[in-house]
Amino acid sequence: MHDVFISYARENRKRAKRLADVLVEERGWSIWFDEALQAGDEYPRVIERALEQVRCVLVVWSKDAVASRWVIAEASEGWNRGILVPVLLDDADPPLPFRQTEAIDFSDWKGDAKAPQVLKLIEAIDRALLGGTRPEDSELVARESRRRKYRQRKLLRRAVAAGGIAALVGAGWFGWHVLDYRAAAEQIADRADQLRAEVRELNDEERNRTWGSVLLESPERQQKLELATLVAAEAVRHARTGRTQKVLADLLAMSPWSDRSAEIELKGPLNALEFSADGALLVGGGGVDGTIIWTMSNNAVTRIPHGGVPDAFWKDRSNRSGYRGGATIDIEASGKRVATAGPDQTAAVWDAQSGRELLRLPHESIVTALAFIPGTDRLATVSENGIVRVWDLASARELWQVEQGSTSYWIAASDSGRYVVSTSGQTARLWRSDTGAALPKLDHENRVRAARFSADETLLVTFGEDIETTVWDLPGATVRKRIPVLAGERSGALFGPDDRTLVIGSTDENLVWWGLDQKEEELSVPVGDGGYIFELASTPDRETFVVADNVETMATAWDFASRRQLRQMPYWGLEIGGVAISRDGRLMASSGFDGGNYVLEITELRPDDPLAYACRKVKRNLMRTEWLQYFGPDDPYRPTCPQIAAPNDTK
């Protein structure tokens, strides 16, 4: 909301502009003033909206003004609301009924800010403002900021003219100016943040739909999001502070448009995604059509007829149907090779660039899961008959095999490659990857789905839909902590960077942070409504993780330490398949079905230059009317995104 709306004829622009400057200089009021709009024919909605929100209307009567239907219309709005303050620039008689209000005579005013008529005008505006909405404390602070900023600029111009700018800087004026400028930039960021909050306001009907569909079907909401992003980007350009950069980051997190995408004709979804080490390749699998490798540099897609399920209604020995998920594919740390499991009785290794088969490893039953063992040239596999194997890939020779005890659908290796873990029934089993030597069993009351190691390999967390999330000390396999949170197979629990805090994708669709030394959860954040968290995946340093939510059909990325959401990618279509994050935490991948084809999308999480990134997300620059609304008349207009054409909205 602005304090004062100045209505004037275009011919009186120079004197009206001086009036606006004086009001800012003396009182710091927020002025709605735009000489480019005074013809008015093309911007009635902009003017109407400004008049509805302003606290005082200052009309500048002159012979030209009384002949302007727009000045009369604007003055009428102020008259009807009882907030009109008139001034006279010449001997013109204001139209009826405005003659009933005494106008302050500015006919002989020379621009002096301390002239008697200026003081009288300030008193009149004060009376109008007192009769309206009381300003918030933040608005009073903003007034003082504008007043100081104007006076500093005025002083600077005089100093430059006198050749004395160095003396001003040396006297400490520069520090005062910078602090004030930072405060002004943060106030702009606050306006952008308010717009962001308005974008997220949902009615009862919208709360029962996915965020993606709400955003897609609301051009007005998309336009407001774009406006908020532009205002926040300009706040950062004014001053890079923690506040301005956070607001811009929060808005970029809401941008619904990915950075790269590929549509692929498939019979079924890609339920598992993994990046190569350098982020140049994305591997997807776990569906009916086997595995694909997307080379992003040239947008090429290589198809591998392996690593999926026989058909959409495939059921395993446990009568589980559908996907087998991330356990069916793996890409080694170097990014050179891809391994796939089944749906036949083999595991296979492929060249990641060409998709050429390198070797085939036979088993007695369907291979249900596999994993490269870091730091080695070995591959761990488990098959539906419950046998765990480790293979030497250089010779394609089996190094050892052990009995899991029952059918298993999960296997993983620790970061150093020291341990291998697999799960089946109510038991998790660990072995030394080099010898196959068994560690003590990890027994549970109900079915355990999967497990993950801490970075230092002294802890293991196990989880499932029917058991408490349990943390075990290694190598003794004793219980360190039981956390009363249930988690799904593909979501589960992740250790944070310090290995002493976990984030858990609970079955009640909350992200739960829980410290090993805490008796209660530290934080619980809902990420959907009425479904479950589909998948969690993290960077090797555990600082960033991504989430797939099945009901909201949305992929989100989070910073572990700050508990802050970095990005949310809504799916416009019917379902989300999988989610992955690059090893350096810069890229998020997600897959989904848009009703026609399956889509792979890549989204940058931490752009090097957020301003440049914001300009890739928007399609326009701020209109000059918007610029005046958010930055005022003292800040000369400039395109926020120079590569985008400036709007042609001047007269």
Residues 593-632: pLDDT tens digits? 766 778 888 999 888 889 999 999 899 999 988 988 888 8
Position 327 scores a pLDDT of 77
Residues 319-335: pLDDT tens digits? 655 445 567 889 998 88
Position 176 scores a pLDDT of 41
Position 40 scores a pLDDT of 43
Residue 489, classed as helix, strand or coil, is coil
Average pLDDT for residues 506-528, to the nearest whole number? 87
Expressed in percent and rounded to 5, the helix, strand and coil fractions of the chain are 30, 30, 40
Do you find a cis peptide bond into 475, omega within 30 degrees of 0?
Answer: yes
Position 552 scores a pLDDT of 55
Average pLDDT for residues 359-375, to the nearest whole number? 93
Burial 181-215 (b: 16+ CB within 10 A, else e): bbbbbbbbbbbbbebbeebeeeeeebeeebbbebb
Task: Fill in the amino acid letter for 276.
Answer: S
Which tokens hold the place of 564?
């802050």
Burial degree of 326 (CB within 10 A; 0-12, 13-18, 19+): buried
Average pLDDT for residues 279-301, to the nearest whole number? 86
Residues 102-129: pLDDT tens digits? 899 999 998 888 888 998 898 889 888 8
Average pLDDT for residues 53-59, to the nearest whole number? 91
Task: Fill in the amino acid letter for 531.
Answer: G
Position 165 scores a pLDDT of 47
pLDDT band per the 50, 70, 90 thresholds, residue 528: low
The three-state (H, E, C) secondary structure of 196-232, written as one string: HHHHCCCCHHHHCCCHHHHHHCCHHHHHHHHHHHHHH
pLDDT band per the 50, 70, 90 thresholds, residue 635: confident
Position 43 scores a pLDDT of 66
Name the average pLDDT for the chain: 84
- Mean pLDDT is lowest, of 204-213, 244-253, 462-471, 595-604, for 204-213
Q: What is the separation, in whole angstroms, between the first and last Cα of the chain?
A: 25
- Residue holding tokens 């890609």? 270
- Mean pLDDT is lowest, of 147-161, 195-209, 413-427, 538-552, for 147-161
Domain spans, the chain: 4-135, 139-255
Reference 58, options 108, 107, 100, 98; nearest CA is: 98
Enclosing H/E stretch for 75: helix 69-81
- Residue holding tokens 């010449």? 90
CATH classification for the domain delimited by 4-135, as one of 3.40.920.10, 3.40.50.10140, 1.10.630.10, 3.40.190.10: 3.40.50.10140
Position 175 scores a pLDDT of 44
Q: How far apart are CA 590 and CA 578, in angstroms?
A: 6
- Mean pLDDT is lowest, of 92-101, 146-155, 174-183, for 174-183
Q: How far apart are CA 560 and CA 404, in angstroms?
A: 34
- Residue holding tokens 């104007």? 150
Position 575 scores a pLDDT of 67
Q: How far apart are CA 393 and CA 180, in angstroms?
A: 64
Give the CB-side neighbour count of residue 636, counting CA atoms within 13 A. 1
54 touches 2 (CB < 8 A): yes
Residue 422's Cα: distance from chain center in Å?
35
Position 129 scores a pLDDT of 84
Q: How far apart are CA 472 and CA 479, in angstroms?
A: 4
57 touches 82 (CB < 8 A): no
Which tokens hold the place of 104?
């302050």
Average pLDDT for residues 412-437, to the nearest whole number? 94
pLDDT band per the 50, 70, 90 thresholds, residue 461: very high
pLDDT at 177 over 60: no
Residues 146-172: pLDDT tens digits? 777 777 666 655 545 555 444 444 444
Average pLDDT for residues 301-311, to the nearest whole number? 81
Position 319 scores a pLDDT of 61
Average pLDDT for residues 512-529, to the nearest whole number? 86
Say what the pTM is: 0.67
Average pLDDT for residues 26-36, to the nearest whole number? 77
Average pLDDT for residues 218-235, to the nearest whole number? 93
Q: How far apart are CA 342 and CA 272, in angstroms?
A: 14
Q: Which residues contact 361 (CB under 8 A, 6 or more apart)?
A: 346, 347, 348, 349, 379, 381, 391, 396, 398
pLDDT band per the 50, 70, 90 thresholds, residue 470: very high
